[in-house]
Amino acid sequence: MASTTFNIFDTLKTRSVLEVFALIPRVIGFMWRSAPLLLAATSVLRVIAAVTPAIMLWFMKVIVDRVVESLGSPIDWFYILLPIFVITAIRLGNALLSQLNSIWTHILTERVYSSAHAQLLDKAGSLDIAFFEAPQFYDRLTQARRNIFRIQSVADGVPRFLQQFLSLAAVFGLLTILHPLAVLLLIVMTLPRIYYEGYTARRRFDMETEMIRNYRSSDYYGDLPTQREKIKEIRIFGLKQFLVDRFFKFRDIIVRTIIKLNIRFLKLDLSINNLPTIGIALIWAYAVYRTALGELSVGSLTMVVTAAQTAVTSLQGLIGSGGRLFQNTLFITRFFELLDLDPKSISGALEPPRAKSPIKVPSPIRRGIELKNVSFVYPGTEAEILKDVSFSIPVGTKLAIVGENGAGKTTLIKLLVRFYDPTTGSVSLDRVDYRDYELQDIRGSISAVFQDFVHYHLSASDNIGIGNVKHLTNRDVILDASKKAGAHEFVSKLPKEYDTILGKTFDEGVDLSGGEWQNLAIARAFMSESQILFLDEPTAALDAFGEAALYDRFARLTENKTVIFISHRFSTVRMADTIVVVEDGRIIEQGSHEELMDLDGKYRLMFTTQAERYA
Ligand SMILES: Nc1ncnc2c1ncn2[C@@H]1O[C@H](COP(=O)(O)OP(=O)(O)O)[C@@H](O)[C@H]1O
Ligand SMILES: [Mg+2]
């Protein structure tokens, strides 16, 4: 029984603060692998930048004290002015370093983004088709992608946090000259702020998770009118306003939620923000009091007064950074969750080979494919689409599958190329169950062209070559495949022949007719060295003669291969060695054209109906 629970979604729980911060080493590790030198360099610069404010403050104190000291005695100009030179030199150096830092950080960000995105693509590419049928998977993917940029913010936030921590510690050190309790006072006054940061970060994260469907919906409606393949219908049906309205409907939900959230944050913020100001006033009063008593130098007074202000600013900065660090790490959990996604965590996921050492797909294949009592229910649904299907495809056979729309023909092919495993029953190749082979090995022995094949906006040559990437640049092989598929004739008339870019995405792109795109898709199948080929109605846009001629050629050119094809044209179907008739998920007839005509059943009915229409 197919289960409808997608247990990949179990981890959608709020994480504790510690769990979130525990992710930081992983983020840093990730960055380190992406760009070690840049990460090291920017970190060093941050440490340098961290200690400068305290050093500057110290020199300010030195200046004031030296001036006060010199009053009434002969002036040593060098002695008095030296600290100013030092401060100026530090300032200049600092400006240079911060310039360097911003350049390096920019490059680092881009690097990290590239490798993070590449890992995401790699992961998505390794997941079973079943994931791509679950809307929840797209929720996850969207949220992960939206937040990739935060990896950099986390890694950037850690040294920033340490930097602010260091400078705060230094300023606190200066404040203890006045009284150690001054430090404690300021810390207590900012404690509510820590709570505030954690709370708002969590609420923002929860909001994005809750709103992700709305983000996706608005993106969907917003993207439709910008896509070339869609604009024909959008113009004809006058859908522009409809789509814009839908777009705004979802955006409005998001914006209203954000406003509500921020009003709540603002109220909270106003109630806690003024505490530190009171702390500063107390410290100032106490410092003035002690200076008046003569216990503190005027230089120290200036320093303490400034230090109290600086300490509060730093403290708030530190808490703000900590909050952002927490928030960014929280959001980035979605990225790592996706990388960690268990490929088996969805119903319909393919099982890994049962045997310890999987069996190799034989080459050449000797017997062929056999389906035994195959039934199939799409994961997450109830209806049985294939019902107790059994038939065999001996090696070298040209087998046609016919049946009405929705009969289950494409589903059958999906099982034969192992996008899915049967719910019950088995598919076997040379008497070995598909599930006992390594998946990659099966896919390597099979090639297929589907109804909804892709129009690659690449060169004509690449469009064919990707049928077998190892020959991507082998013009002879490509030319051969192109001729076999009947594509050579029109490709050689293109402005740059095989180097012409197809589609309208890129400069000088040329578009093809539906039939011409199909010829290219078939050429891809000819590139393949696979022993078994599947063609799922890739020729519907060819005219009847074009299709018949193509299949005729196809059958001759793939003599020793096993070819399984779906077509609605009986002029093509009749050429097959064996024809399988599917109705409502069952095989109702099978045999050669002659046998099925003699049977006088569904096949004969379909064949004669179509023949009459053409007559
Ligand atoms: N991914 C899917 N999830 C659930 N049901 C599906 C899916 N794909 C197809 N179906 C259902 O399976 C049935 C057979 O579809 P299909 O095999 O594509 O038919 P055919 O190729 O014969 O026209 C249809 O009723 C369709 O609604
Ligand atoms: Mg189909």
Q: Are residues 87 and 223 in the same domain?
A: yes
Decide: 303 in ligand 1 pocket, CB within 6 A.
no
Of the chain, the end-to-end C-alpha distance in Å amounts to: 48
**Is the residue at 505 inside a domain?**
yes
Q: Are residues 331 and 459 in the same domain?
A: no
**Band (483; pLDDT cuts 50, 70, 90):** very high
**Is the residue at 254 inside a domain?**
yes
| Percent residues over pLDDT 70 in the chain | 97
Residue 509 belongs to domain spanning: 455-529
**Is the residue at 227 inside a domain?**
yes
Distance 169 CA to ligand 2 centre (A): 69
Mean of the pLDDT values across residues 446-467? 92
Mean of the pLDDT values across residues 558-562? 82
3-state secondary structure of 391: strand
Residue 508 has φ and ψ, to the nearest 5°, of 60, 20
**Band (76; pLDDT cuts 50, 70, 90):** confident
Decide: 585 in ligand 1 pocket, CB within 6 A.
no
Q: Are residues 72 and 205 in the same domain?
A: yes
Q: Are residues 333 and 465 in the same domain?
A: no
How far is residue 420's CA from residue 376's CA, in Å, rounded to a whole number?
9
**Is the residue at 326 inside a domain?**
yes
Q: In the beta sheet, which residues pair with residue 536?
A: 566
Decide: 411 in ligand 1 pocket, CB within 6 A.
yes
Q: Which helix (H) or strand (E) holds 228?
A: helix 228-236
Predicted local confidence at residue 385, as pLDDT: 95
Helix axes 475-484, 544-557, angle to 10 degrees: 130
- What CATH number did the domain enclosing 86 receive? 1.20.1560.10
**Band (6; pLDDT cuts 50, 70, 90):** very low
The number of angstroms, rounded, from the C-alpha of 84 to the middle of its chain's C-alpha atoms is: 53
The number of angstroms, rounded, from the C-alpha of 598 to the middle of its chain's C-alpha atoms is: 55
Final residue in a domain of this structure, among 283, 308, 339: 339
**Band (10; pLDDT cuts 50, 70, 90):** low
Q: Of the given ranges (44-48, 191-195, 256-260, 293-297), which has the lowest mean pLDDT?
A: 44-48
pLDDT for residue 435 is more than 80: yes
Is residue 471 within 8 Å of residue 527, measured between CB atoms? yes
Predicted local confidence at residue 422, as pLDDT: 94
**Band (328; pLDDT cuts 50, 70, 90):** very high
**Is the residue at 366 inside a domain?**
no
**Band (2; pLDDT cuts 50, 70, 90):** very low
Q: Which of 346, 411, 414, 583 is the pocket-test mutation for ligand 1 (most atoms within 8 Å of CB)?
A: 411
Is residue 38 within 8 Å of residue 104, measured between CB atoms? yes
**Is the residue at 99 inside a domain?**
yes
Decide: 410 in ligand 1 pocket, CB within 6 A.
yes
Structural domain count, the chain: 2
Report the amino acid identity of residue 535: L
Mean of the pLDDT values across residues 404-410? 92
Final residue in a domain of this structure, among 312, 339, 366: 339
The full length of the chain comes to 615
Is residue 297 within 8 Å of residue 61, measured between CB atoms? no
**CA-to-CA dists, residue 454 to 311, 490, 607, angstroms:** 61, 19, 31
Kindly identify the ligand whose nearest atom is closest to the C-alpha of 403.
Answer: 1
How far is residue 385's CA from residue 425's CA, in Å, rounded to a whole number?
14
pLDDT for residue 555 is more than 80: no
pLDDT for residue 147 is more than 90: yes
**Is the residue at 600 inside a domain?**
no
Protein residue whose Cα sits closest to atom 24 of ligand 1 = 406
Higher pLDDT, 355 or 136: 136
How far is residue 587's CA from residue 412's CA, in Å, rounded to a whole number?
11
Kindly identify the ligand whose nearest atom is closest to the C-alpha of 584.
Answer: 1
Decide: 429 in ligand 1 pocket, CB within 6 A.
no
Predicted local confidence at residue 175, as pLDDT: 84
Q: Are residues 100 and 248 in the same domain?
A: yes
Final residue in a domain of this structure, among 514, 529, 544: 529
- What CATH number did the domain enclosing 505 receive? 3.40.50.300
Distance 295 CA to ligand 1 centre (A): 88
Q: Which of 128, 346, 376, 378 is the pocket-test mutation for ligand 1 (most atoms within 8 Å of CB)?
A: 378
Instruction: Share the mean pLDDT of the chain.
Output: 87
**CA-to-CA dists, residue 363 to 108, 368, 395, 446, 530, angstroms:** 48, 11, 12, 12, 10
3-state secondary structure of 356: coil
Decide: 542 in ligand 1 pocket, CB within 6 A.
no
**Is the residue at 396 inside a domain?**
no
